[in-house]
Structure 1
Amino acid sequence: MSTPGFRVLQATPQASVVFGLLGGVAAGKSTVADLVAGSSGKVISADHLAHEILTEPEMIARIAEAFGPEVLDSNGQVNRSALGKVIFEDQEARKQLEGWTHPAIRARISSDLKRARACGVPHIVLDVPLLLENDAEHGLAAACDHLIFIEVPDEERDRRAQHDRGWAPGEVARREATQLPLSAKQAAAHWTLRADGTLSELNENVRTLLTTIARLSPPKAP
């Protein structure tokens, strides 16, 4: 109830700001995504959506028939590590799997993005591998207000992949050989974020970057 003689002013809603993350394998994009989104933001992770799709019975059956039962675990679920080895060693197998999963992933990302914007989520972060390489198909890079390149030295990313994922030395470079060079990704980004320190240092770097972006980029109308 308003007080006589005073008019209640409604806050003007602000448009969502969409961030896209670029960087190499094991650069820590998921961690950065969570920090950029913050408690009131939304991370749209293609990897999480792909994981959901790979648990659907119809997709499991299709994958087992195409690539053999060895890509399933003892519970009959897709073993993502085993499947990853198959598709990275066989280009045709990779194209086949992508033909099944990518349309569904793109549709869910677009739906989640539209819903988050409609709800006025302040920071929306797209954690999508090959964001630039596949932009002609999904247009997600073009939908981003800010592209952030996550900079981590090659040797540190290789160390992380060995420790966290059990990869062999040099596997990061091998997988990145078919992708856009990191120099091109960094050149396409609006901002570069250093991410090879501690989590506390990364958190501070993200806070500094977001403060800079807010200062230099005026809020958009919704």
Structure 2
Amino acid sequence: MSQTLIGMTGGIASGKSALESAFTALGIFVADADRIARAVVEPGQPALAAIVQTFGAQVLDGDGRLDRAAMRRRVFDDADARRALEAIVHPAVHATLERQCRDASGPYAVAMIPLLAEGGGRERYPWMQRIIVVTAPLELRMARLLRRDGIDAALAQRMIDAQASDAARLAIADDIVRNDGSLEDIAQAVAELDARYRLLAAA
């Protein structure tokens, strides 16, 4: 079991996946909040039952799965509905993140949480010993978004603006990785963090 737990966050297209791959290559378990958020609303999960009880069966598709498009339309312009959905999903995600990290083998585990700064920061995740923030220049993030998602610059900018500012993320950072170089640079940065976290776990 891992008792040394590390948080990782960064803005959209900052390069979180590259760091995840680098940690995984070193044998470190990484729990992904986005993947968990999808898993906790699968059929048979308590969170999906609570969503149906709150919003009605119209949020399910023909296979009994959550109709994500219908759910987005339901909460898009309704702050109360969005808060009700978050009150169901977020606790399930937080509990699963911590459990997966604590159950992981290895000297430490990493929880990758894209919206960590927006979702309460360090206060919401008191079980994290350190927080990594991945950063990249705005123009590089824009270029990655345009290439990755096939969208225009205006939409890419709106997606970036909808998230916490770089300053807000850096305010909760213990360790910062600047992702504006090569994958070899990322591997080197992660190797240095890995050495530091192994010492922390052994202390």
TM-score after normalising by structure 2: 0.74
After TM superposition, give the deviation of residue 152 of structure 1 in Å.
Answer: 1.9
Distance in 1 (CA, whole Å) between partners of 2:148 and 2:57 is 27
SS of the counterpart of 1:170?
helix
Q: Which runs of 5+ in 2 are unaligned?
A: none
Give secondary structure in 1 for the equivalent of 2:66.
Answer: coil
Larger Rg: 1
Find out whether 1:47 has 2:31 as its counterpart: no
1:166 Cα deviation after fit: 5.2
**Contact map agreement 1:25 1:172 (CA 8 A) in 2:** no
Q: What is the correspondence of 1:20-169 to structure 2 with a 5 Å cutoff?
A: 20-57=7-44, 59=48, 62-63=51-52, 66=55, 69=58, 75-80=63-68, 83-84=71-72, 87-116=75-104, 119=105, 121-135=106-120, 139-140=124-125, 142-165=126-149, 167=151, 169=153
Structure 1 unmatched runs, 5+: 1-13
In the alignment, what sits opposite 1:205? 186
Query: Quick one: distance in 1 between partners of 2:73 and 2:142?
Result: 17
Aligned length: 201
**2:23/2:29 contact within 8 Å kept:** no
Mark the CA change 1:209 to 1:139 in structure 2 (over 3 Å): closer, same or farther: same
Q: Per-residue deviation at 1:125?
A: 1.2
Q: RMSD over aligned Cα, in angstroms?
A: 3.7
Any conservation in 2 of the 1:35–1:203 contact (CA below 8 Å)?
no
Percent of counterpart pairs with the same letter?
A: 26
Q: CA deviation at 1:75?
A: 4.8
Structure 2 counterpart of 1:192: 176
**Aligned counterpart in structure 1 of residue 167 of structure 2, from 180, 183, 189:** 183
User: Is the 1:44–1:126 contact (alpha carbons within 8 Å) kept by the matching residues of 2?
Assistant: yes
- Helix, strand or coil: the match of 1:20? strand
TM-score (norm: length of structure 1): 0.69
Distance 1:29 1:150 in 2: 6
Amino acid aligned to 2:30 = V
Aligned residue identity for 1:126 = A
Could you tell me whether the CA contact under 8 Å between 1:18 and 1:146 is conserved in 2? yes
Runs (4+) off by over 6 Å: none
Distance change (3 Å), C-alpha of 1:94 and 1:157:
farther
Structure 1 CA distance for aligned equivalents of residues 60 and 96 of structure 2: 25
> CA contact under 8 A between 1:22 and 1:150: conserved in structure 2?
yes
